[in-house]
Every structure is written in C-alpha cells, then in structure tokens.
Amino acid sequence: MSAATDKTPPRIQPIPRQRFGFLRRTYAMLVKELIQLRRDRLTFAMIIVIPVMQLCLFGYAINTTPRHLPTAVLLQEDSDLGRSILKALENTAYFQFVHQVQSVDEFDALLLSGKVLFGVEIPRGFERAVRRGDKPALLVAADATDPVAAGSALSALGAIVQSALEHDRVAGDPGNPPFEIRAHARYNPAASSRLNIVPGLVGTILTMTMLIFTALSVTREIERGTMENLLAMPITPVEVMLGKILPYVGVGFIQASLIIGIGVLLFGVPLRGSLPLLALLSTLFITTNLAIGYTFSTLVQNQLQAMQASMMFFLPSILLSGFMFPFAGMPRWAQYIGECLPLTHYLRIVRAIMLKGSTLENLRYDTLALAALMLVAMTIAVTRFRRTLD
C-alpha cells in the first residue's frame, strides 16, 4: 500500500458554540425590529392612536340614551295648559324644541328631512276640551327610523300628563287623566332593528371596500415599480385619478345593488322613495369615498400603510356616523366631527329614501355636504399627485 493511500482526510473541527448564542441572536433580531418600527411612523402612530381613539370615543362620545333631541311643535292654540305641557316635555331632558311650525305640511316636512326627530301637535280648543272633560288627545310623532333614539323618549311620555297638571287647576287623577298622549312612531312603527341596520350596512360596507380599493391603487404602482412608466406617460393628474376611480364606481354600484336587493327581498326593508334618486346619491357617496381613498394612497409609501390609514378613517366613521349609536346622543364636538364624515350624510340619505320616501328637496343639505366632501378630497388628491410628478 502506497503512502498516498495511507493519508486520511483531515477532520473538520466543529465550530464551538458561543455561550448564550441563542439569546444574543434573538436580542439582535429584537433590536432590528424595534428600529424598523421606529422608522415606520404610521405603524407606530397606529399603536398609540387607535387605543386612545377608541377609549375617548366610547368614553366621551357614545351615548345609548340620547337627550335633548330636536323637536318641532305645532301649537294651534296659545294656552296655559299648552305651555305647561311643553315645559313638562322639556323637563324630561329628552325633547328640545328647535322649530315652531304653522302647518301640518311644515310639520311633516321637518320629519321627512330629518331636521327633527319628534313633532308635538297641540290641537285647537285643547284646553277647553280638557276643562269640559272631553279627554282630548295630544299627538307626538316620532321619527322611528332609529329605534334606539326614539324609544327612550317615547317611554318617558307616560309621566308627562300628571307633571303638566301640577300647576293647573284641571280635574284629573292618575287613574283617569283629563287628556291622553297619542305617540305615533312613523316610518318604523314596530321599532324593528333590521329597518335601521340593513340600510346602514350599505354605507358601512361601501366605505370600507371603496377606501381600501383606491388606497392601494397608487402604492401598488410604487411597489411594483410601474410608477415610473406612469409618470413618463403624457397624462395629467386628473386623468390618472379618474382612470383609477371610475372602474371602482361600477364595483361599488354592484355592491350597493346587491345589499339593497337582499335587504328588500330577504329582510323586508321597504323602498318607499325613488330608486333612481337612491342610485344617483349612492354613486355620489361611492365617488366621495374613492376620492378619499385615493388621497390616502398619495400620502403613504406602501400598501401596509395605505391599509392602516384606511382603518384609521373607517373607525371614527362607523362610530360617529350614527350607524352603531344614535347620532343625536353624541356631544356637540363629536357631532361636528361626524358631519365631516361622508358616511354620516349617506346614512341619513339611504334611510330617508328607503324608510320615509324622502325626495331630493328633503335631502338637500346632506347631498350638498357629500358633494363638498368629494370636491375637497379630489382637490387634495390631485395636488398631492402633482407633487409626486414634480
């Protein structure tokens, strides 16, 4: 046997394992993630802002027993008993008289437009009928499209009769009151929660999907590396925005039609108003949300941040719009924030058209508010995208 064959390959010495190597490597990975989190300011803000926002909204803005609800009064006679009744209604803290109307038509128009939630009618000759023992009726009409907001106030009417008679010399006892209060819950007499929730789901689902679709539009171009090709094309920022928004208008319209159709056919939600008007205003609402989502896509750098920005907008929208909690029960500052959200106005529109049969004249304020929000969002989006081009 030769010397060459006697040689054996040298043994590879194993690398000695460092003491506490597992902990060192884990610690290094931990430091890396903390540095990356610190650089991602939007994600870090989400960690802080969302819990604080939820705590503040639920602690200060949300109230399931709303008070001081806007009320109209049709006072067909000016009498001491009539004033006592109105004062007793105000003392319950549920009713706040904001309009005094002169006719039944004006009375009905305020309820249709949603400017008031209640209407009180004291008929002519009411006090004389009470003193003669005819037991007349006092009418309280309620907008019951939101059963939670109307329910507590209607339940407080039982104590009104005796409290209104404390300072009036009118015969009567608790078992036989000299007049009665007829509460008429309009638009949703059975106080069915489905009639309130199903129309609201149209706006809620559209808000979530439309924001996410367009918030990802520009950031997707950046991450795929196709933004440079888009910027090299002879196209204006307005054309880019419209080209990205218009396809999703059709998607949103299909979603709205599907939800409304299911609500009408399966859940028995009425459609008392104009279907073309509902379609037109739904398209306006869809476009508004798409413009807001497009604005988010011009403010962030990647798709994760776009999703986070959309959720930060969606959270106050669902809490302060009147979908989950009565809008009238929120404090004034929360209502001001809610008025700046497209979902607030669309919920009023879709519920008014489907449950009340309201017309465009009744919905003029909310329609103009949606249009204004859409124009503001589009202006910001085009301005931001033009800066990207520069």
Q: Is 121 helix (H, G, I), strand (E, B) or coil?
A: strand
**How high is the pLDDT of residue 1?**
47
> Token pair 């037109």 is at which residue?
280
Could you tell me which residues are beta bridge partners of residue 120? 73, 140
Mean pLDDT of each 10-residue bin along the chain, 390 residues long: 55 59 78 77 72 77 80 84 83 86 87 88 86 84 86 77 60 65 85 86 91 82 71 74 85 90 90 92 93 86 82 88 85 90 94 92 93 91 70
**How high is the pLDDT of residue 244?**
80
Global pTM reads 0.82
Nearest to 229 by CA among 238, 214, 245, 240: 240
Say if residues 196 and 144 touch (Cβ distance below 8 Å).
no
DSSP state of 191: -
Residue 205: Cβ-neighbour burial (10 angstroms; 0-12, 13-18, 19+):
middle
> Token pair 């950031």 is at which residue?
219
- 3-class SS shares of the chain: helix, strand, coil, % to 5: 65, 10, 25
Tokens of 131: 């003193």
> Token pair 């218009």 is at which residue?
246
**How high is the pLDDT of residue 29?**
84
Integer distance in angstroms from the first to the last C-alpha of the chain? 80
Could you tell me which residues are beta bridge partners of residue 73? 100, 120
Say if residues 141 and 186 touch (Cβ distance below 8 Å).
yes
Residue 355: Cβ-neighbour burial (10 angstroms; 0-12, 13-18, 19+):
buried
Distance CA 316, CA 29 (A): 35
Give the residue ranges of DSSP H helices in 275-363. Answer: 275-299, 303-320, 332-339, 342-351
Residue 114: C-alpha distances to residues 69, 82, 163 (Å) = 11, 25, 29
Say if residues 160 and 180 touch (Cβ distance below 8 Å).
no
**How high is the pLDDT of residue 282?**
94
Nearest to 303 by CA among 221, 230, 226: 221
> Token pair 């019951």 is at which residue?
144
